[in-house]
Each structure stands twice: as C-alpha cells, then as structure tokens.
Structure 1
Amino acid sequence: MTRREELFRGRFLHAFRDAVRLPDGSASDREYLVHPGAVMVIPFLPGEDGAVRLVLERQYRYPIGEVMVEFPAGKLDPGEDRLACARRELQEETGFVAREWARAGVIHPVISYSTEFIEIWFARGLTLGERRLDAGEFLDVFTATPQQLATWCHEGAVTDGKTVAGLLWVQQVLSGAWTLDWHATDAGATP
C-alpha cells in the first residue's frame, strides 16, 4: 500500500480506498470495508421423531428489500469473545440458551470488498427463555428440518450466503463426515 484514504466511518462499517502496487509493478486502487466480524449460530433441537430440527429466523433485510431466512447471527462488539457473542446472539434473537457449544469454523463472505469474517458455532441442549431483541430488530423464529432448508436453498428461496454455508456444515456433521468438539457451558448463565 502506498496511500490510504478514509471514505466513510459509520457505526460499524469503515470504508477505505488504498493505492496499491500490483505484482507486475503497476498501480491500482482497492476500495474495501472494514467490518468487526460476526458469529452465526446453528442451533439443534431434537424433533418429535428424534431427528434434528434447526432454529431459523425470518428477517427483513433493508439493503436487498426482502425477508430472508437465516440462522441466528450478529456482529461482534469491540473486544467481545466470539463464544460470548454467539451465546448472546442466540439468546437475544431466539430466546434459547444452549447447554453445549462447538466451534465449526469461519467463513469470509465477501472477500472482494470487505474484511468481514463470520465464525460458525453449533449449539444444542437448548432451553427456551425470553428473547431480548435489539431496538429496531424484528424477526420471526421458527424451526425446520435440514431437508427443508436444503430444499429452500436448492429452489432459491434461501439465498443468504452464511446460511447456505451453514447448511453445508449441517449436512457434513449429520452425515458423520465432519466432527465437532462439543463443550458444556452453564446454560443458566446470562451471556
């Protein structure tokens, strides 16, 4: 980088334009957003038949003007531990508190113009409590089978990138191809 210009500073997005030198020696500009990072939670509930049910949300997303089906997720607060953020977001958005947690991995959803990462967590042993939605946050919580979510993704009804990536994790975990390292937490503790 030879020069950095700040383009915008919002509450959580920060935009820059950097003048850079490319591998062939030529000059170019790169515009990008600095994002604090986020977590996504894949909550498992036991279904009546013993099969897994997934806790999902429907939420209107202003930038694209549509109601989206998503796994619970949210951005990290400054200095916040990633598991603490996952616990907080699950309870705030769905009312559920989990007894066990497993970190799955991380995705970078928009590598061409953002530093954003989303850490993926699984949660099980859920107990329902009270939701604590943020001001201005409106969402509908529901459950679906992994097969239903797969159908919605295939049909184009679910297009949220993190949720589509989450479905891949669900399928691999349920098939036994990928394993998770589960850890118990105090389900009664407030995140």
Structure 2
Amino acid sequence: MSDDPHLTEHTLSREELLRGLFLHVVRDTVRLPDGGSATREYVLHPGAVAVVPLTDDGRIVLERQYRHPTGQVMIELPAGKLDAGESALVCGQRELLEETGYTAREWAYAFTMYPTVAYSDEAIQVWFARGLTLGEAKLDQGEFLDVFTATPQEYLAWCGNGRIVDSKTMAAAIWIQNVLAGTWKLDWQASPVPA
C-alpha cells in the first residue's frame, strides 16, 4: 500500500525451489524497509473459492473429508482451487456441483481470506449460495467425502468446541452469524450461468 512504505518489502530476485503437481514453492530475496535484505520462502497458489450453501429450511451444507497432511477427517465447507482463467463465481458453482451435487439459483460474494499469510499467497474467496437444487455429485477421481447438513447453531457450536478446525470454515462462521442476525448484508444475484 502506498501509505505503508515503512513496512513494505521489495522483491529483488526469485528462485524456484519446487514445482510439483499442486505445490509451487519459491524463495525470494527481498529488500527490507531499512535497506537490509532477507529471504522469504513461500508457496504460490492460484487461489480458491469456498461456498456457504444455505438450504431452503435454513441448514448449511457441509462435507467430511480426510486431509492427509493433518491425518484426520475434517468438517469443511465445499471448496476448491481456481482453474486457470476461471472466475471465482464459476469456480464456486463448479465445486458446489462436483462435491455436493447441488446447484444454486442465487449467489453472493462475502469476503476474501488469506489462510496462511506467513508462507503462502493463497487467497480464498467465500461466497454464499441459496435456492439449492440437489442433483448428482461429480467428484474428482481420488476424491472421497461425505455430504451432510447442519443447523447454523450446530455449525457455530462445532466451531466453538473444536469439532470444526478448518480455517475457511471457521472464518465463514462470523459471516453466517452476522448475515443470519441481519447485521451484515449480502448482495444476492441470480446465477449468471446455467449450473
């Protein structure tokens, strides 16, 4: 930001450390605000979208999925990585259908979060979806998950008692609570592309 030059680092050079099927790790040499230099190793990420799907009876569609790095099954919102050139809304629509079988009549952007700012540039856009119609899920090869619904009260309680520990799912709880209370408003729009 232009008003933060006393905090801003400037990239001098970049070295590629790893380019795998999913991860791309780099090491930047940066000039620090005081003129010194340092290295920053981090993961480059194309971005992702998470969806808060609201059923007509006020429940939230969630997933249970095993996450290998943690060695445990996590409760999460439907979400996935942006494909090259894909808009966030199209990604959200695609992931909702692929993972849960649902399509949505209306969508609203809520917020963007950076789940791991110390070692990744990943940004996750969080969208709300309503007017759901259930169809058939189209899971990616090698993807296994259970889809279920929870009341907002159950969802919030699970965030509070440690049953939900996924960062995007926990961050969305603040929005769910405030949207349902009428404190925060969403700009709902009809789905612009056939889902």
TM superposition score normalised by structure 2: 0.92
Q: How many residue pairs are counted as aligned between the two chains?
A: 185
1:179-190 to structure 2, matched below 5 A, reads 179-185=185-191, 189-190=194-195
CA distance in 2: counterparts of 1:20 and 1:87, whole angstroms: 38
CA distance in 2: counterparts of 1:37 and 1:11, whole angstroms: 15
Code of the aligned partner of 1:97: T
Corresponding residue SS for 1:45 = coil
CA distance in 2: counterparts of 1:124 and 1:31, whole angstroms: 39
CA distance in 1: counterparts of 2:156 and 2:111, whole angstroms: 20
Is the counterpart of residue 39 in structure 1 residue 49 in structure 2? yes
Corresponding residue of 2:62: 56
CA distance in 1: counterparts of 2:192 and 2:82, whole angstroms: 21
Residue 8 of structure 1 is aligned with which of 18, 21, 44?
18
Which aligned runs of 4 or more in structure 1 are off by greater than 6 angstroms?
A: none
Code of the aligned partner of 1:63: P
Cα deviations by residue, 1:145-191 (Å, 9 ceiling, x for unpaired): 1110111111111100000011111001001111001111268x24x
Is the counterpart of residue 26 in structure 1 residue 32 in structure 2? no
In structure 2, the gaps of 5 or more residues are 1-10
Alpha-carbon contact 1:12-1:36 (below 8 Å) kept? no
Cα deviations by residue, 1:71-112 (Å, 9 ceiling, x for unpaired): 000000000011110000000000001011111111111111
Code of the aligned partner of 1:182: W
Is the counterpart of residue 120 in structure 1 residue 153 in structure 2? no
Alpha-carbon contact 1:99-1:186 (below 8 Å) kept? no
* Cα offset, 1:13, TM superposition: 2.0
Of 88-97 and 24-33, deviating more is 24-33
CA distance in 1: counterparts of 2:16 and 2:154, whole angstroms: 44
CA distance in 2: counterparts of 1:124 and 1:21, whole angstroms: 46
CA distance in 1: counterparts of 2:192 and 2:182, whole angstroms: 27
Residue 135 of structure 2 is aligned with which of 104, 129, 143?
129
When the two chains are superposed, the root-mean-square deviation of aligned CA atoms in Å is 1.2
TM superposition score normalised by structure 1: 0.94
* Cα offset, 1:46, TM superposition: 2.5
Of 19-28 and 148-157, deviating more is 19-28
CA distance in 2: counterparts of 1:97 and 1:111, whole angstroms: 32
Corresponding residue SS for 1:140 = strand
Corresponding residue of 2:181: 175
CA distance in 2: counterparts of 1:105 and 1:20, whole angstroms: 29
Corresponding residue SS for 1:32 = strand
* Cα offset, 1:10, TM superposition: 1.4
Cα deviations by residue, 1:2-55 (Å, 9 ceiling, x for unpaired): 2211000012321101111211222211001100000000000132xxxx1000
Identity of aligned residues (%): 59
Corresponding residue SS for 1:58 = strand
Corresponding residue of 2:150: 144
